[in-house]
A and B are shown apart, each in its own frame.
Chain A
Amino acid sequence: MSNSEIREPAVSPEGQKEVNIDPDIQQIKSLSRFQLMKRAFFKNKLAIAAGFVLIILYITMVFFPNLFSTHPPFQQDRNNMYAPPQRIRFFDVDGNFNLRPFVYPYDMELDFETFQYEYTPNYDEKKFIYFFNRGFSYKLGGFWDTDIHFMGLESEEDMFFIFGSDRMGRDIFSRIVHAGRVSLTVGLVGVALTIILGSFFGTLSGYMGGIIDQIIQRIIEILLSFPTIPLWAALAAALPQDWSSIRIFFGISIIIALRNWAGLGRQVRGKVMSFRESEYTIAARIGGASHLYIILHHMIPNAFSHIIVIGTLSIPAMIIAETALSFLGLGIQPPMVSWGTLLEASQRVNVVINYPWIMIPGLFVVIAVLAFNFLGDGFRDAADPFSS
């Protein structure tokens, strides 16, 4: 027994000193916690696949849309209005194999009974697809004059439509790539704002308690009692008509974030309230740390993983909100395009029924949203290994 180490009881005034002398141990602990999270995350195959999809989407659409689009987004082809998606082929009609993929151009005819365009592939002419060939010129990454494209036909004048064309004969694929830039960033801007507002007010509310908490809680309650779409629509309709499209873009993300922070705020408040009671916080208070210090050095880092998870999981809501507003014509304004504005054409049901490929931009909304959901779910499981 005499060999047993003599120790101070856990709860002693010196307990706080212990916290302070062992910064290395703290470090190691938090590091291994982070590594634990990392390991948990990388085990989740679905989340990794989702992350991979998102990286591809961001590279092709946000960073280098011109490189990856086959035509300028506004180039029209009067002979190819509402052209259906063209098949990319390796075998020609006679069954001969070509290593270089190609398309058959369309012959267009107007059916005078139904007043619809009829397209039939012209099997006599092969248009080969070249990779990294020259097309329309643009500035790569915004600086670099070039006309190299990931893929395209031999002649810049010839258009081909992987996802078909719209009512003005514009290439839907190229428009999707360009629209992705707006749709994929509107969410990020909105989420950044949501996180700032939500964690600020949530922390304030949870940490301060009392009357401040009451007021913030009432504000959150009121925000949550407005239905989203009608509120956003009303606010979006109030944006001045003479604003530039970039200002509208930011206006829209602010509008969406203005309501959406409420949910995050509530959750952060809950987290912070439980931290407030933790031994560490009490010890730090006894040690004379200021509220601000505790909030910045303890609360926020501790709630951080939580905030990241909620942040990731609320990007989908942002993307869907932007899509919905633009679909209604109240969101992003021309000349900017987003997946939602591309879908606006689908409002007329009889058009969609005849030319369903104009809904393809919606597919990208689903892919992006699904990917963010899987990614966020992966983050959540990783941040909270005991939840599953």
Chain B
Amino acid sequence: MNKNKDTSDKNLLEVKNLKTYFHQEEGVVKAVDNISFNIKQAETLGVVGESGCGKSVTSLSIMQLVPQPRGKIESGKILYYQKDSSVPVDITSLSPRGEKIRKIRGNEIAMIFQEPMTSLNPVYTVGEQIMESVRLHQQSRQKEAREKAVEMLRLVGIGSPEQRVDEYPHELSGGMRQRVMIAIALSCNPSLLIADEPTTALDVTIEAQILNLMEDLQKKFNMSIIFITHDLEVIGEMSDRIIVMYTGKIVEKATIEDIFYNNKHPYTAGLLSSIPQIGVEKRLVTIKGSVPDLKHLPAGCNFSPRCPKVMNICHTQEPPDIQISENQFTSCWLYEKRKDDVV
């Protein structure tokens, strides 16, 4: 890994107008509905939103792992700049079971999931599961792979890795299992790590440890991370830029500072205000109502029924995309109105 920080202006991944739908008997679920974003090398991109907003489906789309046969990438492009080539591949054009995408999965783009308790196969040892990945992508022999597994376990901070390598997942705690997942993900030096709510199921102290670990490893491996969470607080420590998702759409895109101190979309504000503050009486201010059923979305802006700043137009017309500044974007009528006040 001899990338250095000054290459980090180069895009690693560009998602363009991605639509991923689920076709169910009762109707079409537009889980991801026309989103675009990109991620630079060695950058951490945070993705936030309440659950059910399409974060996981976005990440599965990048892996070409959208559940078949109901789920389908309808349109859009996912351009990925591979390690050793300057021409990007469009992941959406690859066959989900084909060899090309399988060479990327786990090797160049790795993923860890929300549920450490169920992410590991209960009938194989931790070592076997790390080695499987190593042997698949690096064609190494049994012995080398095993050494690599031990090394990875040590790297992710698991004590006495020589013994742990032969243990089964059920012998490990949730935090340990998530460390193992990270070890598997990083075992082939990926350029991009997608972490889908990696700490949601863990308690706070363990969460902090895992976050620290990920930060350390990111520096060590010089990789990009897409960090998904429904908790803005967590993302604050990790990310360079953040995209906020609601009902399959991106409602705001900004740097971490702007999200916290200069946010534009009422949904972002709502998410921020539900972070419990230490010292303040433990009352959560939450956004009223809940995420609507994606099969029965309201007319106009999807957020309108819950929005504290809702206006008439929000109920009838979809909000426009507004570029607030070079690095900030939002999709909300509030800012359009300000501009065209006179009209």
**Contact, chains A and B (beta carbon distance below 8 A):** yes
Query: How big is the B interface, by class?
Result: 10 to 19
What is the bound-complex CA distance between A4 and B286, given in angstroms?
7
Chain B residues whose CB sits within 8 angstroms of the CB of A99 once the complex forms: none
Query: Are A4 and B273 in contact, with the CB atoms below 8 A?
Result: yes
Chain B residues whose CB sits within 8 angstroms of the CB of A4 once the complex forms: 270, 273, 285-288, 308
- Taking the closest CB of chain A, its distance from the CB of B234, in whole angstroms, is 19
B299 at the interface (CB under 8 A from A): no
Chain B residues whose CB sits within 8 angstroms of the CB of A7 once the complex forms: 284, 286
What is the bound-complex CA distance between A190 and B37, given in angstroms?
64
State which residues 1-40 of A face B: CB under 8 Å.
1-9
Query: Which residue on chain A has the smallest CB distance to residue B266?
Result: A1
- Taking the closest CB of chain A, its distance from the CB of B273, in whole angstroms, is 5
Candidates B273, B282, B283, B284; contact of A1 at CB < 8 Å: B273
Query: Which residue on chain A has the smallest CB distance to residue B285?
Result: A4
- Taking the closest CB of chain B, its distance from the CB of A4, in whole angstroms, is 5
What is the bound-complex CA distance between A311 and B167, given in angstroms?
42
- Taking the closest CB of chain B, its distance from the CB of A374, in whole angstroms, is 21
Query: Are B282 and A9 in contact, with the CB atoms below 8 A?
Result: yes
Chain A residues whose CB sits within 8 angstroms of the CB of B202 once the complex forms: none
Query: How big is the A interface, by class?
Result: under 10
* Chain B interface, >50% SS class: loop
Query: Are A9 and B283 in contact, with the CB atoms below 8 A?
Result: yes
Proximity string of chain B (293-308) to chain A, C-beta cutoff 8 Å, 1 when within and 0 when not: 0000000000000001
- Taking the closest CB of chain A, its distance from the CB of B52, in whole angstroms, is 16
Chain A residues whose CB sits within 8 angstroms of the CB of B286 once the complex forms: 4-5, 7
What is the bound-complex CA distance between A3 and B285, given in angstroms?
10
Proximity string of chain B (115-131) to chain A, C-beta cutoff 8 Å, 1 when within and 0 when not: 00000000000000000
Query: Are A5 and B288 in contact, with the CB atoms below 8 A?
Result: yes
What is the bound-complex CA distance between A141 and B201, given in angstroms?
63
- Taking the closest CB of chain B, its distance from the CB of A381, in whole angstroms, is 13
Query: Which residue on chain B has the smallest CB distance to residue A7?
Result: B286
What is the bound-complex CA distance between A1 and B282, given in angstroms?
17
Chain A residues whose CB sits within 8 angstroms of the CB of B288 once the complex forms: 4-5
Max chain A CB contacts within 10 Å: which of B270, B282, B284? B284
B158 at the interface (CB under 8 A from A): no
State which residues 272-293 of A face B: CB under 8 Å.
none
Chain B residues whose CB sits within 8 angstroms of the CB of A6 once the complex forms: 283, 285
- Taking the closest CB of chain B, its distance from the CB of A282, in whole angstroms, is 20
Chain A residues whose CB sits within 8 angstroms of the CB of B285 once the complex forms: 1, 4, 6
Chain A residues whose CB sits within 8 angstroms of the CB of B270 once the complex forms: 1, 4
Chain B residues whose CB sits within 8 angstroms of the CB of A3 once the complex forms: 308-309
- Taking the closest CB of chain B, its distance from the CB of A76, in whole angstroms, is 57
What is the bound-complex CA distance between A6 and B273, given in angstroms?
11
What is the bound-complex CA distance between A7 and B284, given in angstroms?
7
What is the bound-complex CA distance between A6 and B281, given in angstroms?
13
B269 at the interface (CB under 8 A from A): yes
What is the bound-complex CA distance between A7 and B288, given in angstroms?
9
Interface contacts beyond A4-B285, A4-B308, A6-B285: sample of 5 additional A-B pairs, CB < 8 Å, sorted by A: A2-B308, A4-B287, A4-B288, A5-B286, A5-B288
Residues of B within 8 A of A (CB): 269-270, 273, 282-288, 308-309
Residues of A within 8 A of B (CB): 1-9
